[in-house]
């Protein structure tokens, strides 16, 4: 899994167990392979490439993923223990209105490099069926994390699952904005939200951010990286305000939009739980702001163990792969707005059936 925050390639070796319809998971090994400056630049600007260069990047990135998976398998001594690879790849273009989405990291190349079955292109069928193709994580929220009323993932873009309606959607831009602002101040990220905590709220900028047309749309809805950048970056990056003040304002904006999304789909129970995962869950100031924003609705904010925080999405990709392998529904139309549920993913067999 590679997310819009571009922090690296997440690889998880997980055991998935299903007994009479009840699924559980165990994260056995996990790692995040940080992108070097060259790969970060290539992925960030992939959508700007001419077609021949884009296609070559697709296969080159597939080779990169395959090489990293091979190293991961060797480092963890799990040769001959992996059933298949479920690869989300990295989204470089997402335009559901034209029935088009693109995640690079060629599945055939990964299969050729690793010699293992590979399940890729996990969003394509849903988009072809008229869906948003995002979020696709809610199938995992339903089957693996059923004890929560709301499930919030804070990555480059924040998305939420409303469990009692089995509805999910992208909420707002998140880490991709916070990280870009921190980089302006010479830091890779705003660790624990320290800079934001020391900033001063900019009410005028906050009002401008909250007026984005996307927030008036009804779910299901999704944000591409480009749309997220166009929504937020001009108001922040083209201003002369202090970076700490901009970080403070963006954190408050995220917290308000999360609270608004939840309020629009309030649960009927008196006490509800919100699970927070993704890189943003490690930003303690951001989580505190979200906690304060939702406390009026008697919502308990839960941040799970570090492995689940960092690798929940990768685990869900494995689950989506397992469901595809079993030919069972792995993308929900109630979430994406597609014409029907689907069994998404292209299967590439990495080994030959020649008796060797």
Task: Answer yes or no: are the C-beta atoms of 165 and 158 closer than 8 Å.
Answer: no
CB 20 within 8 A of CB 314: no
336 has pLDDT over 70: yes
Q: Which residue has the higher pLDDT, 189 or 66?
A: 66
Q: In this predicted model, what pLDDT tens digit does every residue of 86-140 receive, in sequence order?
A: 999 999 998 999 999 999 999 999 999 999 999 999 999 999 999 999 888 889 9
Average pLDDT, the chain: 93
List, in sequence order, every residue forming a beta bridge with 160; answer none if it has no partner: 152, 169
180 pLDDT higher than 70: yes
pTM across the whole model: 0.85
Q: What is the mean pLDDT of residues 156-181?
A: 92
pLDDT confidence of 267, banded at 50, 70, 90? Answer: confident
The pLDDT, as a whole number, for residue 352 is: 80
Q: What pairing do the DSSP bridges indicate for beta strands 157-162 and 346-348?
A: unpaired
**Which sequence spans correspond to the domains of the chain?**
9-136+311-348, 145-309
Name the one residue in this structure whose structure tokens are 């922040």.
Answer: 236
Say if residue 342's pLDDT is above 60: yes
Beta bridge partners of 27: 14
What pLDDT score was predicted for residue 311? 94
The pLDDT, as a whole number, for residue 106 is 98
pLDDT digits (tens, 9 = 90+) for 276-300: 999 999 999 999 999 999 998 889 9
CA distances from 343 to 31, 95, 289 (A): 28, 20, 38
**Measured distance CA(253)–CA(173) in Å, rounded:** 10
Q: What is the pLDDT of residue 351?
A: 84
pLDDT at 312 over 80: yes
CATH: 3.30.420.40, 2.60.120.260, 3.30.1490.110, 1.10.645.10. Which one for 9-136+311-348?
A: 3.30.420.40
Confidence of residue 4 (pLDDT cuts 50, 70, 90): confident
Record the tokens describing residue 88, joined without a space.
């989300």
pLDDT in tens, 39-97: 999 999 999 999 999 999 999 999 999 999 999 999 999 999 999 999 999 999 989 99
Q: pLDDT value at position 268?
A: 74
- Average pLDDT value for residue range 324-332: 96
Backbone angle region of 121, left / alpha / beta, with phi > 0 → left and psi within -120 to 50 → alpha = left
Answer yes or no: are the C-beta atoms of 95 and 224 closer than 8 Å.
yes
| Most confident option among 2-16, 202-216, 234-248 | 202-216
By the 8 A CB rule, do 201 and 249 touch? Answer: yes
CA dihedral 39, 44, 47, 53 (to 10 degrees): -20
Q: Domain 145-309: which CATH class?
A: alpha beta
- pLDDT of 76 reads 98
Which residue is associated with the tokens 């320290």? 194
DSSP-assigned letter for residue 34: P
Tell me the pLDDT band of 355, cut-offs 50, 70 and 90.
Answer: low
**Token pair for 37:** 């400056």
- Intrachain domains 9-136+311-348 and 145-309 with the same fold: yes
């Amino acid at each position: 899994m590679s997310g819009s925050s571009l922090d690296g390639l997440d690889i998880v070796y997980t055991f998935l167990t299903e007994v009479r319809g009840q699924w559980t998971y165990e994260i056995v090994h996990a790692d995040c392979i940080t992108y070097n400056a060259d790969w970060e630049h290539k992925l960030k600007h992939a959508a700007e490439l001419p077609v021949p260069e884009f296609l070559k990047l697709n296969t080159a990135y597939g080779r990169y993923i395959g090489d990293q998976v091979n190293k991961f398998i060797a480092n963890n001594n799990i040769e001959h223990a992996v059933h298949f690879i479920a690869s989300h790849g990295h989204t470089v273009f997402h335009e559901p209105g034209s029935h088009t989405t693109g995640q690079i990291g060629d599945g055939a190349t990964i299969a050729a490099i690793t010699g293992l079955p590979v399940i890729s292109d996990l969003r394509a069928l849903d988009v072809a069926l008229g869906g948003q193709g995002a979020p696709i994580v809610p199938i995992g929220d339903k089957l693996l994390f059923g004890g929560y009323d709301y499930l919030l993932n804070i990555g480059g873009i924040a998305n939420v699952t409303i469990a009692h309606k089995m509805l999910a959607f992208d909420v707002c831009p998140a880490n991709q904005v916070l990280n870009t602002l921190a980089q302006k101040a010479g830091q890779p990220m705003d660790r624990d939200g320290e800079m934001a905590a020391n900033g001063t709220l900019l009410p005028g900028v906050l009002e401008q951010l909250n007026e984005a047309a996307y927030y008036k749309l009804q779910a299901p809805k999704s944000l591409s990286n480009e749309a997220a950048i166009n929504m937020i970056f001009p108001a922040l990056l083209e201003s002369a305000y202090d970076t700490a003040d901009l970080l403070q304002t963006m954190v408050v904006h995220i917290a308000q939009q999360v609270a608004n999304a939840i309020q629009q789909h309030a649960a009927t129970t008196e006490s509800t739980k919100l699970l927070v995962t993704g890189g943003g869950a490690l930003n303690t100031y951001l989580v505190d702001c979200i906690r304060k924003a939702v406390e009026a609705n008697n919502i308990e904010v839960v941040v799970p163990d570090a492995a689940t925080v960092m690798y929940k999405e990768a685990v869900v990709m494995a689950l989506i792969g397992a469901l595809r392998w079993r030919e069972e529904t792995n993308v929900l139309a109630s979430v994406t707005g597609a014409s029907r549920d689907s069994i998404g993913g292209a299967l590439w067999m990495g080994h030959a059936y020649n008796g060797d």
